[in-house]
Amino acid sequence: MPESATLMAFTAAALVVLLIPGPGVLYVVARSTGQGHRAGLVSACGLSAGAFIHVVAATAGLSAILLTSATAFGIVKALGAAYLIYLGLKTLLARGAAAEIDAGAPLSLSRLFTDGVIVSLFNPKIAVFFLAFLPQFVDPGHGPVAQQVLLLGSLYVVLALITDGAYALLAGSVGRWLGGRLLRGPLPRYVTGGLFIGLGLHAAFADRQR
């Protein structure tokens, strides 16, 4: 299992990623401002359920890669580090205002949950993110990779549910102001981009040291 220091580092990195407004936050905010707290919370649950399916897939895929070759697993980690650096640079260089939030017509709670699952499940960027992000905190020398990936991925999903839920409650109270003014501006882009680049460089440096 991951060491306590690894879990703390992972939790800190995950929280920064999750607290910075992204597509998932925008989706939850849209539902909350359009239909209230409950709609936003149900949407957040749907997003997390879809994300957990990606975690299970990543667990199976990364475990299969390690069983094939430890070198192949190292290559996957290196490619993941490169992808995180690319993602950070792309985020830093992005221009333009945040996408407009459209809550759409009111939907039932079951439909909101299902839509959240579908939005998350059929977003290939989430799958790629997990395959790039989770291995950076996995050490095959500290136990089965499958258990480590599943633990870290599940922790990420729980943290995502908490942070998205907090945004849902805030958005339902503050309304469109939260969905508009707060989510725009360069600061979220700089923080997110810097975090991804830092994670990628740390992973690349750690691999070189080993």
Phi, psi of 22 (to 5 degrees): -135, -170
The 3-state DSSP class for residue 139 equals coil
How high is the pLDDT of residue 146?
A: 87
Sign of CA dihedral 45, 48, 52, 53: positive
Q: Between these two residues, 202 and 181, which has the higher pLDDT value?
A: 202
Structure tokens at 148: 């480590």
How high is the pLDDT of residue 12?
A: 92
pLDDT tens profile 89-142: 887 887 654 444 444 557 788 989 998 899 888 877 788 888 888 888 888 788
**Alpha-carbon dihedral of residues 17, 18, 19, 21, nearest 10 degrees?**
90
pLDDT, averaged across the chain: 78
Residue 6 pLDDT more than 60? yes
Query: Which range among 19-23, 93-97, 141-145 has the greatest average pLDDT?
Result: 141-145
Position 178: which residue type? L
pLDDT tens profile 59-95: 888 777 766 776 776 776 777 678 778 867 887 887 6
Contacts of 78 (CB under 8 A, 6+ apart): 203, 204, 207
How high is the pLDDT of residue 56?
A: 92
DSSP state of 180: I
Q: Is 1 within 8 Å of 151 (Cβ atoms)? A: yes
Structure tokens at 86: 């690319």
Does the global pTM surpass 0.85?
no
Residue 16 pLDDT more than 70? yes
67: left (phi over 0), alpha (psi -120 to 50) or beta: alpha
Break the chain into its structural domains and give their ranges: 4-209
Contacts of 114 (CB under 8 A, 6+ apart): 46
